[in-house]
Structure 1
């Protein structure tokens, strides 16, 4: 965990709002996954955090990438990933995504029957299955529910497999991902059990990809044991796709106090808000915080600078009282879907990002210059 001194150094050097990452925590998270899933192939769900420095570190450790957009495929190609190091996922892939995925020799995750006709010739394929489960997470993060837009119904599987065979494609296996930030390991047990039943339809397969979505405090060993049992039903190799689990705890959003106020509630006003960290507003996500000032405990809402009532990074947060303008607050577990979802709404520059390698800080993304925000508009004139 980064110390107060290290965080102050980063904020003083690069300003705030600022995303910081601890390389040692990133490495430790990957080691936990490798230990829990020995022999499994690991693909990082790039949408969690696509910073090139982090991608190169993971790629150098043998990790592949699960990509869900043309831009993510472009990033994978930019750092040299191809073939079995790349998966192409998503429910509505573009022609450009099929083209680039085909050029890279990637494996496509087929999400609907109509997609078979769109695949490049002789594609390698996993078929994503929707297990129709309600799981212990926010509804916006539940991707394996019957009402979600993801995956094929089990009853659609025989015809889809026949279409793949007649189209000359290589079926490698099945894919399953039931959501993100899942709190109850029993959800995975139920999902793995349902997909294992499909071995009666598919016969032996090369791969069972069970996705990711594990909560940060999940029992990975128990989940992995259930996953291996499901893979054994197909005689398949296990693939996994952690995203948030790998990067969340490595990341801290540093923000400074702009002031305090009281209306019907007490507010601590910050220089970071929904444009830097959207998860609280989007998912109702709750992030641990660490105040870098001292005082008797108090309770406050964390309010960002946007003219939006929903621009809150936390409700009823315990903080030291007496915060002064310029005091530093660390918002923890922010390495996933923080910088990746940051925006230029209100023409606010996206924050800089810095990496601590155990000895020094390195800037791994510059703060966005104001002029860069409107450069494309000037170029169109």
Structure 2
């Protein structure tokens, strides 16, 4: 957590909790680390990590492109004026609306299966997503490059799909590989790039190798970048990357207040945020750093539990905290990615506000919903 406790207390007092807070300096620093490591590689932000328009504008102003995986994300990109080489459209089951929007905006499509070649708008630019069939060091739900994953074509299919694109009059830019998210072992990337390099004799030179993203927050980024550039050089290709969580996770914190405590079979500290504000612990077993923003004695272990009537509504287990009291403030770290993006209105819970710290003051970048906002579209 990079923000001072006083600023976090101020944000909670002004905007209420639960609350997503972002540090502009950390957003800039994360992009700086990517560019320092990957040099002249083209950077496209994986919008699904956090699609807040204010954050997207900040990245756009820094020259970053975008990777979109839904009609809504494409609409956000179009709203911002993103088009052409700055826009990638990905996903395993694209709709007619996505193909039409991509054609209108001149986007690059990522082909995820052989039959998709026949669905592309005429004269499209395309990459072929390859599944290297690896066992990778992340949760099964995050492993997109494993043999049992729904993503990409096989290594054997890839040259055939490239040729089919050319025969159909499309521009076959090259290959795309994204093996998952929150990858812990850099050797997984080395293995994936190596398997792609083995295709060189069948594909010939290519214009682009898109190495995706998925780097763990503590990853050896320079080392991964060297391997990615080496793989691109095998094809004589320009390197593209698509960071998502890496760019925004550490910039974001979820602030939540203590509602009370209880002991059943385990000791629980009950808070006003839960699975509707941060789904990752329940969905992936993800562990987020938890920082108490109060002083006190009597440190002991607590499970941090949310308000939903779901046994799985836990933000953390066995966290050491000073004795908590009602109203105390907790900071849940690494919530800038897939916090607000995955937030929901289950139980007619209103989604929290989002605020950005620019070093001197807070800026509201998304208003807190009301219950009336939640049911506004219902008839």
Give the distance between the partners of 1:20 and 1:215, measured in 2 at CA: 21
How does the TM-score come out when normalised to structure 1? 0.98
For 1:65, the equivalent position in structure 2 comes to 66
- Which ranges of 4 or more aligned residues in structure 1 deviate by more than 4 Å? none
1:16 deviates by 0.2
1:54 match: secondary structure: helix
For 1:326, the equivalent position in structure 2 comes to 327
For 1:183, the equivalent position in structure 2 comes to 184
1:364 match: secondary structure: strand
1:239 deviates by 0.3
1:159 deviates by 2.5
For 2:129, the equivalent position in structure 1 comes to 128
For 2:316, the equivalent position in structure 1 comes to 314
Once the two structures are superposed, the pairs formed by residues 255-270 of structure 1 within 5 Å of their partners are 255-270=256-271
2:209 match: secondary structure: strand
Once the two structures are superposed, the pairs formed by residues 16-95 of structure 1 within 5 Å of their partners are 16-95=17-96
How does the TM-score come out when normalised to structure 2? 0.99
Give the distance between the partners of 1:159 and 1:107, measured in 2 at CA: 19
1:108 deviates by 0.1
For 1:10, the equivalent position in structure 2 comes to 11
The answer to whether 1:193 aligns with 2:198 is no
List runs of 5+ in structure 2 lacking aligned partners. Answer: none
For 1:351, the equivalent position in structure 2 comes to 352
Give the distance between the partners of 1:357 and 1:285, measured in 2 at CA: 28
* Aligned 8 A contact 2:293 2:331 in 1: yes
Once the two structures are superposed, the pairs formed by residues 140-151 of structure 1 within 5 Å of their partners are 140-151=141-152
Give the distance between the partners of 2:321 and 2:146, measured in 1 at CA: 37
Give the distance between the partners of 1:330 and 1:214, measured in 2 at CA: 24
Give the distance between the partners of 2:350 and 2:102, measured in 1 at CA: 32
List runs of 5+ in structure 1 lacking aligned partners. Answer: none
1:375 match: secondary structure: coil
* Aligned 8 A contact 2:68 2:90 in 1: yes
Give the distance between the partners of 1:293 and 1:85, measured in 2 at CA: 44
1:161 deviates by 2.0
Count of paired positions = 377
1:158 deviates by 3.0
1:165 deviates by 1.4
1:80 deviates by 1.0
Q: What whole-Å deviation, never above 9, does each CA across 1:99-119 have from its counterpart, x for those lacking one?
A: 001111000000000101110
Give the distance between the partners of 2:164 and 2:173, measured in 1 at CA: 14
For 2:284, the equivalent position in structure 1 comes to 283
1:154 deviates by 1.3
* Aligned 8 A contact 2:294 2:328 in 1: yes
1:162 deviates by 2.4
